Structure 1
Amino acid sequence: MNFRNFITIFILFSLFSCGDQKKEDVAALLKIWSGKEILFPTNPVFTVQDKDTIDFSMSGKYKILTYVDSIGCISCKLQLEKWKTFMEEVDSLGMNSVKFLFFFSPEKRRDLLITLKSERFTYPICIDKENRLNELNHFPVSDMNFHTFLLDKDDKVLAIGNPIHNPKVKELYLKIIQGEVVEQKDESKVIRTKVDIGKTSVSLGNFDWEKEQKSAFVLKNTGNKPLVVEYVNTSCGCTSVDYSKEPVQPGKEMILNVTYKAEHPEYFDKTITVYCNVETSPIVLKITGNAE
């Protein structure tokens, strides 16, 4: 492995939260996938909302590939509204050489089509009914971080991770695409503080699925430096978070106001990921309940 690839892996490793996996496992996966060529099915069919087959070229100086399997909540995994925002940002920077490749392999095709229509997602997609993309590449089942890649023109992996779920991955993707020098930040120079969280999980109990539910998490700055929240990500579009963007001074509190609106009756288990300047960042919070 050359020095450049080693640095790339080191940077990528710093972007992943390893709460549920051993760091050694993540490092091993990064070493395997960095620089690897992604194989695509022969003549994949692209459509817009599964209506008309279109002539869609996958060629481009850079490609952002995201693969979504049939396991779990489709709308939670897709996060289409955030993808639209990211794509608009890329276009605004004049990056016409970037192709977005969406490969969906849903178990329930109808659920996917409903989501595409309700969120007015009109970018070309490939509905991979036979899951051929995964069969060719064998993506890790246990880690969705390894289902989204930044590829070069030869389909080789330049970076790994979902820019929609992780702002640091997004920053890395944009730097590579714009030709900027990618360097590992000196984490020792980051001003950090400490937080105390009264509770990291909230149960909303049983409720009418058509009624919006609200809850809150309190983060108290127990360190001696200002607490700065860089970004808050939710695992589903049905969950939103409102909070003050101002730094929280030592001894003061920040309130994260969470709103949950069920799309249909279900038992749910949603996460809220808070990226901030503390050693334990990102902080993962959870809401659960039964929308009847």
Structure 2
Amino acid sequence: MKQRLYILSLLFLLAACQENKKEQFARLVQEWQGKEIVFPQDMAFTRFVTEQVEYRIPDAEYKVLIYVDSTGCTSCKLQLPKWKELIAHVDSTTNSNIPFIFVFQSKDDKELRYILKRDNFDRPVCIDRDSRLDKLNKFPQDITFQTFLLDKNNKVKVIGNPVHNLAVRALYLKQIAGVQHKEILAKTTLEPEKSEYDLGTVKEGTTKKQTIAVRNTGITVFKLTGFTTSCDCTEATCNWKELQPGESGTITVSYEAEQPGDFYRTVEIYGNIPNNSLMVSFIGTVK
């Protein structure tokens, strides 16, 4: 009961914080735009944490720095399959000219090695043992603001995590390759049947699926651009791309119960709606 009350209290606080997200983002953009990122001179890179490799940060027109601290769920933060998908897309549009620099703090090398091998992520990564990169630059504590698109002088062009936020992804692609939406869509409104779902008790090692319904309550067509999830243990899929005014559609959310304890996960639905996305949350307990 106490754990469930804790989750409900956390949800209340998160809801209150949503109102300040825009202000926080605007402040961080103003603070970090044009700021130079300083790299230690002797950064060491490895594959799968164990195999040291020769790697030097290339002198390129643009580069992406992904910094991941050691707090919280490592797998949730990394979302490596989504990074592989984004890197493949960028490579296809830029002839592989954009380096992606992954720098991780590690609270558990064994866990990090397992995640890298599980996701077959064989790119060079730097393990920032003494938080040197963070100490030199004093990154924001929020994981969603620890990723940067840098220019050839290592100055920040875009701040934000493009695999956690599709609007930020669009900014990266526009800056890197001039990719932008040609069609400007009129805004509509989208309402979920419920904004929060309680999945109850989920057995460890199993997958729980939940069907959610959303309805276009506006006067123009809703066009879906994609989903993001708070963790790679959560996936959202649907068999439609558009909803006419007044039309409803269903989305299937799958949650893979990896470890015991209470959980809070979110799915963001992106499209031509205010703030560009709509968040639905899921709570429960893994036993």
TM-score w.r.t. structure 1 length? 0.86
Does the 8 A contact of 1:59 with 1:153 survive in 2? Answer: no
Deviation at 1:181, TM superposition (A): 8.8
Deviation at 1:134, TM superposition (A): 0.9
Task: State the AA in 1 paired with 2:260.
Answer: P
**Cross-structure match for 1:176:** 175
SS in 1 for 2:205: coil
**Cross-structure match for 2:155:** 156
Task: State the AA in 1 paired with 2:252.
Answer: N
Which of 206, 209, 213 aligns to 2:208? It is 213
Structure 2: 5+ residue stretches without partners: 1-16
**Cross-structure match for 1:41:** 40
Does the 8 A contact of 1:60 with 1:99 survive in 2? Answer: no
**Cross-structure match for 2:237:** 242
**Cross-structure match for 1:11:** none
Structure 1: 5+ residue stretches without partners: 1-17
Does the 8 A contact of 1:60 with 1:98 survive in 2? Answer: no
**Cross-structure match for 2:124:** 124
Does the 8 A contact of 1:200 with 1:217 survive in 2? Answer: no
Deviation at 1:210, TM superposition (A): 2.0
Distance 2:21 2:164 in 1: 20
Task: State the AA in 2 paired with 1:86.
Answer: L
Which of 267, 273, 281 aligns to 1:272? It is 267
**Cross-structure match for 2:68:** 68
Deviation at 1:42, TM superposition (A): 2.6
Distance 1:181 1:52 in 2: 36
**Cross-structure match for 1:228:** 223
Number of equivalenced pairs: 270
115-124 or 217-226: which moved more? Answer: 217-226
**Cross-structure match for 2:95:** 95
Q: Identity, % of aligned pairs?
A: 38
Distance 1:191 1:165 in 2: 24
Distance 2:243 2:21 in 1: 32
Task: State the AA in 2 paired with 1:71.
Answer: T
Distance 2:147 2:19 in 1: 19
Q: Runs of 4+ in structure 1 displaced over 6 angstroms?
A: none
Does the 8 A contact of 2:190 with 2:218 survive in 1? Answer: yes
Deviation at 1:49, TM superposition (A): 0.4
Distance 1:280 1:38 in 2: 29
Say whether residues 1:110 and 2:110 are aligned partners.
yes
Deviation at 1:94, TM superposition (A): 3.7
Does the 8 A contact of 2:37 with 2:156 survive in 1? Answer: yes
TM-score w.r.t. structure 2 length? 0.87
Task: State the AA in 2 paired with 1:115.
Answer: I
Deviation at 1:197, TM superposition (A): 1.9
**Cross-structure match for 2:164:** 165
**Cross-structure match for 1:138:** 138
Distance 2:231 2:134 in 1: 23
CA, structure 1 residues 181+49, in 2 after alignment: closer, same or farther (shift >3 Å)? closer
CA, structure 1 residues 246+99, in 2 after alignment: closer, same or farther (shift >3 Å)? closer
Which of 269, 279, 289 aligns to 2:284? It is 289
SS in 1 for 2:86: helix
